[in-house]
Structure 1
Amino acid sequence: MATIEPKSESAADEPTTGRTVLPGAPPFTADDLLKFPDDGNRYELCNGSLLVSPAPTKLHQLVLYQLQRILDEAAPPELVLLSAVNLRVSDQDLYIPDFVVATEESLHTDELMFSPDELLLAVEVGSPSTSMRDEGLKTLAYAKAGIPGYWRIELAEEPTLYAYELTGDKYDPPAAYKAGSVAHLTTPFPVGFDPAELIRGRR
């Protein structure tokens, strides 16, 4: 992955081979991120600091496809299922959940950003570069934003689904569902599936 550097005043005179030069300087804002290059990385913000993730792997994309297929069969018609949306929590906090369940009305508001009150569920699929962030920082951030449900899918655990539900401004300890057992979930709507289904090839 290329080295990521904010643009300095003299950046125009410097060679850029092997690195991505980003416009602006920290602390960044959500509007700054809209000016970033489309270089294959995923850029998020936490309190003005950049969180950078590489492009998703093939297995990551398969999990998201299978998850959408499973949830689409159970979702009520007034909800929409989307991947990789911009979630603007504040001017200096912007996240891109791997998958969300949102209200249908949210499609008719801001064309680029979702607000936390438009989401019923956020999902992150863990990878070696993001698992600690998903378990720690994003668990706190999504709870503070008031998102009712958060699912964390850890592929290194064959896989395991961790389901969090909001109580007040914090998530309760997660229920863990391992591959080979059926996860019976009620938030954001009733659905049941074996996490092992998420890594099975298309039939």
Structure 2
Amino acid sequence: MATIEPKSESAADEPTTGRTVLPGAPPFTVDDLLEFPDDGNRYELFNGSLLVSPSPAPPHQRALYRLQRILDDASPPELEPLSTVNVRLTDKDFVIPDLVVVPEEASETVGLMFSPADLLLAVEVGSPSTIMVDEGTKAILYAKAGVPSYWRIELANEPTLYVHELNGDTYDPPVAYKAGDVAHLTTPFAVGFDPAELVRGRR
């Protein structure tokens, strides 16, 4: 994995082999991100602090794909589930949710980034490297931004779906659905599934 370093004035003549040198210095803004090199890294911002996530493992990708298909089959025609989109929460908070549900009209007219007002649901599929951010920081940010529903899926031990519903500017304690329990949900639309479906083999 590349080493990520802010670019300093003295770094102009330094060799950059084996590392990515970023323009600017923390705290970063979303506008700063637009100047970052396209180096294959996934950058997110939390109050100006940079988070670089590794590429997800196959179980994560499998669960995400299966969930998107479940939601796509259940969604009304005016809504659309999309994976790994850019969301600008504030000038210093930028996230790339694993999955969102947005109005189809918004997905057709949005530019580079969605606003939190477009999101009816945000979903994060947890991994050992992201669980603390998904459970804490992102839940706080999504709630403050007014995202009505936030789902967190943990795959370790047994797949579990945690459903957070907005109450004011915070989420109520999550309702957990473990493998073997069918989650019957109504927000952002009616859908039901067993979290175990997200990790089963294709046959």
User: If the length of structure 1 is used for normalisation, what is the TM-score?
Assistant: 0.96
1:52 is matched with 52
1:67 is matched with 67
AA in 1 matched with 2:46: C
What is the SS of the residue equivalent to 2:111? coil
Identical positions, percent = 76
1:165-180 superposed matches below 5 A:
165-180=165-180
2:162 is matched with 162
1:13 is matched with 13
AA in 2 matched with 1:151: W
Query: d(CA) in 1 for partners of 2:40 and 2:195?
Result: 28
- CA distances 1:46-67 after superposition (whole Å, capped 9, x unpaired): 1111111111111111111100
What is the SS of the residue equivalent to 2:120? strand
1:79-94 superposed matches below 5 A:
79-94=79-94
AA in 1 matched with 2:116: P
2:25 is matched with 25
AA in 1 matched with 2:195: P
AA in 2 matched with 1:195: P
RMSD over aligned CA atoms reads 1.2
User: If the length of structure 2 is used for normalisation, what is the TM-score?
Assistant: 0.96
8 Å CA contact 1:40–1:54 kept in 2: the answer is no
- CA distances 1:172-193 after superposition (whole Å, capped 9, x unpaired): 1000011111111111111110
2:147 is matched with 147
Query: d(CA) in 2 for partners of 1:108 and 1:184?
Result: 29
8 Å CA contact 1:81–1:102 kept in 2: the answer is yes
What is the SS of the residue equivalent to 2:180? coil
8 Å CA contact 1:27–1:47 kept in 2: the answer is yes
Q: Stretches of 4+ moved more than 3 A in 1?
A: none
In structure 1, list runs of 5 or more residues that go unmatched.
none
What is the SS of the residue equivalent to 1:184? strand
Query: d(CA) in 1 for partners of 2:181 and 2:81?
Result: 24
1:126-145 superposed matches below 5 A:
126-145=126-145
AA in 2 matched with 1:32: D
Query: d(CA) in 2 for partners of 1:175 and 1:40?
Result: 35
What is the SS of the residue equivalent to 1:10? helix
AA in 1 matched with 2:179: A
Query: d(CA) in 1 for partners of 2:37 and 2:157?
Result: 34
